[in-house]
Amino acid sequence: MDYRKLGQEITELVGKKDNIARLTHCATRLRFELHDISKAETEKLKALPGVITVVNNGGQYQVVVGNEVQQVYRVITQQMGSATRSADSKSASGKNNGPKQKQSWISRFISVISTTFTPVIPAIIGAGMIKAILAVLVLTGLVTTESQNYYILNTIADAAFYFMPILLAYGASIKFETSPILAMTVAGVLLHPGWSALMAEGKDVFFIGVPVRLTDYAGSVLPIIIVVWLMSYIERFADRVSPSMIKFFTKPMIVLLITAPLALVAIGPFGTYLNDLVAMGAEAINARASWLIPLLMGTLQPFLIVTGTAWAMTPIATSQLTKNGYEMINGPGMLASNIAQGGATLAVALKTKNKKLKQLAASSGFTAVLGITEPSLYGVTLKLKKPLIAAMIGGGVAGIYAGLTGLVRYAFVSPGLAALPAFIGSNPMNIVHAIVTCLIAFIVTFALTWIIGFEDPVDDEEEGNTNVNDDKTLSGQPVQDNSPNTQSSTITNANVLSQNELRPLTIASPMQGELVHLDRVPDDVFSLGLLGKGAAIIPAKGELYAPIAGEVTAFMDSKHAVKLNGYDGEEVLIHIGVDTVNLKGRHFDSSIKVGDRVQQGDLLIRFDIDAIKAEGYEVITPIIIANSDRFPDIKLEKQSPVEVGATIIHLS
């Protein structure tokens, strides 16, 4: 794949580099925060080769590209001129260069957690994997817990969690558009050995007469996020009041002199209280119904990923890992969900007859059971729907087992087969329960997917496909169908094709607009080829012309869809818009009727594009070869603007 080209195309379609406020990435997604989200061309992004899907949730515009995300990320950051596009992209006053998008407080909270944690993930995953390796070494007797080797490796693994406030200060500074260095310095104050010494003494501490609560901030999450948020306002204040001649000295002094004491005296203890309150609530639920949280996580994890809310539980899980050495909030349920996603996707790979889907499902299913589910979720199960339902059921069943057996995760890793060592710890049965959880999730989901099945999309590369096609109904509404069925008819397909079996035919564009692939249509009936192969046009003008010479054999009372049988055996179905049957003829005008003979280029229907859009409907128009199975070779012209009468489809 040409990552440079893909990165350049993504940059253009999100509104060019000046529209990017900041950019981060995770294992499979580019996570944009855009100045003006209306400039992003979502449908064109989804259609790019190499892009799995686009998700706009949790305060972020996420472009899912799969396992090659880092290569694409590098290309885009090179174009932006900054790897983080952080505070430097804004003025010192903090004013944005474009309009801000209104978000709910939940979306803002999740956006803060996501942006703050994303840069930290490599450190905590790396540390978590070292913890997992160390657990295996101890279990096999290669290392003892009293050895210096264990001590050093454990110190390396603990460092990311102990200094979590410093790491999070960097991510939070990006989110709140303030100085990363000053934010990390304030975090360093919270972890300073002098502060630890005061705690060890246990004496009362006062600052300018105000009592100071002695709190251990090692591994804490919420306190530093709140501190950096406040610091962003203090820095702007310091920037305004500092004389330009000495701003280089006075600005950082004012920031540290105000922020650090506030952090120690008020904000830090308040953040710690919130952090402990949420953790206590989760532990109380777990104590009374240990199966509930893993059940919910195992079932709803795909939904949390799609909506961007999966980050909401991260602070609690991280806090538990730091304080207890294990966590039961995220890991057990995510393990069940990830394996279930892999089971559903691999079942699809074995059952589908579509070559492209088989290849995609095999690779993404294998990745999912290892712990990375986005390619599987967005590329396979979410599109096919039934496998997603099976994965949610299988994940929930396995989650119940994980909760009832008290399964915990000892290290912060993406749960999957590759990270099973993260479930090795003080309880020797924990890894056994983890393996059983995986088996339950995989077997239940695989079996359900195999039994309930899915709508298998037509394979464009396979000749002789039989498409699901019912000329009697379009969009669930009955239509007239006076198709000739006698052998003497000039439009009888069997009669014509027997004489002209390999005759080349063409389908002309019925409207002016942009020619696109059929998979751009936001309706699975069309995009998956269930009614036949074809193309689609995004109309620029509200006029539909006959793409072939032939007879009108079906015409909707709502005037939004028409079917023509050509004199050379071709059957062409044209459906203006998506779900426009609900308009019941509003904004459409036509005088044609079933049985009319038309010539290519005859005007068939007029429609009001703006009025249809104003009522909330898409106007993208599929042009379907309804009897695709009769034509062994169907080729489409390249995507491009087209005029009425231009060739868009070749048949033989």
DSSP 62-120: EEE-GGGHHHHHHHHHHHHTSSS--GGGS-TT---SSPPPP--HHHHHHHHHHHHHGGG
CB neighbour list of residue 350: distance below 8 Å, 6 or more residues apart: none
Cα 632 to Cα 460: distance, rounded to the nearest angstrom: 10
Report the side by side order of strands in the sheet with 543-545.
543-545, 603-607, 588-589
Closest by alpha carbon to 575, among 525, 622, 631, 537? Answer: 622
**From 26, 438, 560, 587, active-site residue:** 26
CB neighbour list of residue 154: distance below 8 Å, 6 or more residues apart: 131, 134
Tokens of 20: 């990017």
What phi and psi values does residue 195 have, to the nearest 5 degrees?
Answer: -65, -40
Are the C-beta atoms of 188 and 166 separated by less than 8 Å?
yes
Closest by alpha carbon to 569, among 551, 554, 542? Answer: 551
User: How many C-beta atoms lie closer than 10 Å to residue 142's C-beta?
Assistant: 10
Annotated active-site residue 575? The verdict is yes
Cα 569 to Cα 625: distance, rounded to the nearest angstrom: 11
Helix (H), strand (E) at residue 538? strand 534-539
Cα 354 to Cα 557: distance, rounded to the nearest angstrom: 35
**From 35, 433, 560, 575, active-site residue:** 575
Half-sphere exposure of 124 (CA within 13 A, CB side): 27
Annotated active-site residue 26? The verdict is yes
Radius of gyration of the chain (CA): 30
Cα 114 to Cα 309: distance, rounded to the nearest angstrom: 9
How do strand 647-651 and strand 505-508 relate by DSSP bridges? Answer: antiparallel
Catalytic residue positions, numbered: 26, 575
